Amino acid sequence: MNLHRFIPTLPVATHQRLWRNCQAATLAYALGMAPAQAQVRATAAQHPAQWPTTLAMAAPIPSPTPAQLQPLPAGVELGMGTDALRDAVPSAARVPRPQRLAGGLAGLWRLEPVVIAGLSGAQTFFFSGRELRRVEFVADASDLADGGAAAFGALLAFGRSTYGPETAANDPSGSYAAWTQGGLEVYAQRVPAPRATVRWVIKQSEGKDASEL
């Protein structure tokens, strides 16, 4: 239908009613858009450098996915040398003051932050001579309501499914579970006090019992 031919034939009162309806619709649209436009202008004025990316930043950013629970980091094997470790874990950093343990072990390299069993902590690589002998993950769980109990439970379940039944220590100060498989020793530990800590260790077997680990 040709509106230019139809509209002039309408009565004057109808013309006026149509005009008022058009004005009302335009006003409603303007009132509805004004708050949004004002917010956009305010955001642009406060952060002019960020204005081109304001809409993109409004989209939710996915949370990082925790690392898969596994005995050792991908590409890492006990007995490997320093160069091989650095090739496998290029983001590992040299430790300024290495922690030293019995048997000549020294924690020379460290990777952090590392997420294991939902906890963020540091993973330290211990060498004796020129060979990697121990990999230790330690996380502070003092800020968690359960003090790391859920993380220890996840480590315990993983150890059982991977190595079989554990050897548990009767320690009233915390929870402890160890496994021995071939020349490998693995243990999970949770100490609730004085600061809740969860530990996950993989090391070469030295023929010691669980109380000496």
The answer to whether residues 135 and 72 touch, using CB atoms and an 8 Å cutoff, is yes
Instruction: Give residue for tokens 């859920």.
Output: 150
pLDDT tens, 68-119?
A: 577 788 899 999 999 999 999 999 999 999 999 988 999 999 999 999 999 9
In 3-state terms, what secondary structure has residue 115? strand
pLDDT tens, 167-180?
A: 887 666 689 999 99
Burial class (CB in 10 A: 0-12, 13-18, 19+), 126: buried
More confident residue, 74 or 27: 74
CA of 82: how far to CAs of 65, 71, 97, 132, 196, in Å? 28, 19, 17, 7, 32
Q: Sorting pLDDT into bands at 50, 70 and 90, what band is 129? A: confident
Q: Sorting pLDDT into bands at 50, 70 and 90, what band is 17? A: low
More confident residue, 91 or 29: 91
Query: Facing residues of 210 across strands?
Result: none
Q: Sign of the CA dihedral 109, 111, 116, 118?
A: positive
